[in-house]
Amino acid sequence: MACVIVNDACCLIDLRKARLLHAALSLPHRFVVPYPVRASELLEFTAQEWQLLDDSGVETFDLPPDAVSEALAIKAQRGRLSANDCFCLVATARHDNAVLLTGDQLLRKSAGEMGIEVHGVLWIIDLLQDAGWRPLELLVSALETWRGDPAVFLPAEEIDKRLRALRRLMS
């Protein structure tokens, strides 16, 4: 079933590192980025990269004033979350059938406490594999990229489990 996937900065960065952004966008889901996250310096996406993402259907969610107020209230309650984390929570809550895509543990915990479904980039690998994505080598390459990157914080056992499964499918 199609859903709205609200993306935080870390997942967009990790998907780009692994060259999976366009593969992910081929899934039958709507991809949404809250405007403050899109405007964040953390992403360092070029105007050309954003244009390609826009052309691929990535939507920017410009939070209305009441949503900004809601995000700031969450920030006041959960001071360790960043403002962008709070914008992601509110953007997800404001969309029907939405999932938050994040690797941030504190954000994941907060989302769960708020009843928001949350997944990380390994879920995207699973969705692509379930959808019959080819070539599988792209998924293997992505997992190996993440495993070798000290700035990507994914459970090694989960990466290895997926690598074994994909390699079995390829042989």
Same-domain pairing of 80 and 116: yes
Residue 116 φ/ψ region, left for φ over 0, alpha for ψ in the -120 to 50 degree band, beta for the rest? beta
Classified as helix, coil or strand, 144 is: helix
pLDDT on residue 1: 62
Note down the domain range covering 66.
4-122
Higher pLDDT, 42 or 99: 99
pLDDT on residue 42: 73
Same-domain pairing of 85 and 23: yes
Q: Which two tokens stand for residue 87?
A: 């914008």
Same-domain pairing of 143 and 61: no
How many beta carbons lie within 10 A of that of residue 60, not counting itself? 15
Same-domain pairing of 96 and 138: no
- 97 occurs within a structural domain: yes
Whether the bond into 65 is cis, omega within 30 of 0? no
- pLDDT tens figures, 45-78: 888 888 988 999 899 999 999 999 999 999 999 9
Number of domains the chain contains: 2
Same-domain pairing of 116 and 137: no
- pLDDT tens figures, 76-133: 999 999 999 999 999 999 999 999 999 999 999 999 999 999 999 999 999 999 999 9
Same-domain pairing of 115 and 139: no
- 127 occurs within a structural domain: no
**Can you tell me the distance from the alpha carbon of 98 to that of 131, in angstroms, rounded to the nearest whole number?**
19
Same-domain pairing of 68 and 41: yes
Can you tell me the mean pLDDT for 5-17?
Answer: 94
pTM, two decimal places: 0.94
Position of tokens 């699973």?
Answer: 126
